[in-house]
Chain A
Amino acid sequence: MEESKSLNKSRRDFIRQSLLLGTAATLGSLPFSAIAAAKTKRLTILHTNDVHSHIEPFPMDGSRNQGLGGVARRSALINRIRQEEKSVLLLDSGDMFQGTPYFNMFGGKVELELMSKLGYEAGTFGNHEFDNGLEGLAKHLNKAHFPFLTANYDFTGTVLENRTKAYHVIKKNGLRIGLTGVGIDVTGLVDPNNHKGMAYLDPIPVVNRIAKMLKEDKKCDLVICLSHLGYKYEDNQVDDLKLAAACRHVDIILGGHTHTFLHEPTRVRNLDGREVWVNQMGFAGIRLGRLDVVFNQATGAKNIMAQHYTIGMNENQLV
């Protein structure tokens, strides 16, 4: 009952706004084609973090997460969403490794092969990626058919030099999606021998510089930062919430490390007062996160206002 009422309301709004749009178009003497061209585009972002070598579902042993997760199920779900949606982006925020004997025995090869099969399009490094040292990670990195974005790690002079990227632009359905990635300071988290030679840079200036470049020079419509910094710390250690607040051009932060199960994304105001969405999906592949982003041609505030309602209506049907 509630639902049909709200649907009726949005349909009324839709009609009213369509009329408004028509009026605006006439007043602004815009050619009809401009309105037709101002169609919306939609991007579905799917994401995981801290999967920790959980290839199989948790065993049915009475533990809290028994029967949950499993990469083969995740694959089936992702395939289904890809059939339903035109543009799907699949991302991971690190700590793919360590947690089951699959990692101890095969050193990360299985995890990377499966992520490539699932069609992951970018990832970042968590601290556990270094558990077998930089060499251990480099050894299996060619199994990943997608880039790792590690903007605040400097691997110069190590075996990982030039094996990762600071940013990556993905074009989908005419959209330009700018991606970057940052990791946690591994000092104290990773054995010193296992991260010898890599340098950690403060993620805030790094992300700001890259995100500005992605928006202004690379003309990206959306900037996503993959993060393994952690969701929130009480002290002054940098986390996703602090990063979001200290940025200008980042739209979405997909986080990890703290194994935080966010039931819905946290919205943080950035330096310009705009909302940044921060999300995290617990751990072990128990959940797959999804954000649907709708894009409008930025031709003028009035048009955007009007168009939002038409999408809103479509959304009601889709949800």
Chain B
Amino acid sequence: MKHAALWCALLSVVLSLSTCKTQLQHEVKKRQYYQIDSSIVADSRIIDHYTPYKQKLDAEMNRVIGISDQYLTHSRASESLMGNFFADALLWKGKQLDPDVQASFSTKGGIRAELKAGDITIGSMFQIMPFENVVSILTLHGADMLRWADYMAKTGGQPAGGIKLVVKDDKVVEFLVQGKPVDPDAKYKLVTYDYLANGGDYVTCFDDVIARQDYKQLIRETLIEYVSDLTKQGKHIQAQLDGRVQITK
């Protein structure tokens, strides 16, 4: 009898323990989000942790690498000072990597900032090109160069170097590469970056490339080197609107 009572007690303990182990029903009772703004006093230990990184970062970002005499604007216009600066830097690097490169190509959407007149810092290059894209040199049929011209015509012009493009009513009127009309059967070398070579920004004209060479060279590093090189020569950045892309309705 005494044993039975003990067993009962033990059994109930075991039962209650196993009940504790059964899964719980749940219900979401509250949902909210917090806006992280200046009303929250920052955790100083966290600021202390990232301050050494920030100092290193700021020192690098504020490093002056050159001077621009103008404010390089970036716009949806057929040609912009920033677009030409960018395309010229790309063509400069492309020719260094492969002397046969004749033209350069970027897109307006890929250029992320303007450049104020005065000192040019590393930080401003990061703003213009935050992405880790690398230089890509494509060997194209002349026919695909013409498709590229059509792409630029349909999208209201794009930053490009080594070319002249005249567009009227979205149609190509004149398209020259290094001052000469394009021969559809000839081969051309175009410098751009991997993102566009891969068909980014709805570029479809690179679906039949003869050859493609990607380099480790980052586009941002290219800009930094281009500006540093000008500075070394005692020059300032003087981008120009030279009529390389003309669009009329």
Task: Please tell me if A67 contacts chain B, counting CB pairs below 8 Å.
Answer: yes
Docked-complex contact A72 and B24, CB < 8 angstroms: no
Chain A-chain B contacts (Cβ-Cβ < 8 Å), number: 159
CB distance from A255 to the nearest CB of B (A): 14
Which bracket fits the contact residues of B? 35 or more
> Contact mask A15-34 → B, CB, 8 Å, 1/0?
00000000000000001011
A294 touches B26 (CB 8 A): yes
**Least Cβ–Cβ distance between B61 and chain A, in angstroms:** 6
A106 to B60, CA, bound (A): 12
Report yes or no: B46 in contact with A72, Cβ–Cβ below 8 A.
Answer: yes
Take A175-B24, A298-B23 as given contacts and tell me if A289 and B46 are in contact as well, using a CB distance cutoff of 8 Å.
Answer: no
Partner of A71, one of B31, B46, B123: B46
Enumerate B59-91 residues with CB–CB distance to A below 8 Å.
60-61
Known: A295-B26, A315-B29. A191 touches B194 (CB 8 A): yes
Q: A101 contacts B46, CB within 8 Å?
A: no
Q: Does A168 contact B (CB under 8 A)?
A: no
Interface contact A72-B43, CB-CB below 8 Å: yes
- Number of chain A residues whose Cβ lies closer than 8 Å to a Cβ of chain B: 73
Neighbouring B residues of A298 by C-beta, 8 Å: 22-25
B43 to chain A, nearest CB (A): 4
Chain A residue contacts of B41, Cβ below 8 A: 73, 76
Is B35 touching A72 in the complex (CB atoms < 8 A)?
A: no
Given contacts A71-B46, A308-B27, 14 further A-B contacts (CB under 8 A): A31-B12, A37-B16, A42-B29, A57-B38, A73-B43, A76-B41, A79-B43, A101-B123, A105-B56, A132-B132, A293-B26, A297-B24, A298-B24, A312-B29
A residues near B (Cβ < 8 Å) are 31, 33-34, 37, 41-42, 55-57, 67-77, 79, 98-99, 101-102, 104-106, 110, 113-114, 117-118, 131-132, 174-175, 191, 215, 219-222, 251-252, 263-265, 277, 279, 281, 285-299, 304, 308, 311-312, 315, 318-319
B-side residues, CB < 8 A to A, are 12, 16, 19-38, 40-47, 49-50, 53-54, 56-57, 60-61, 123, 126, 130, 132, 194
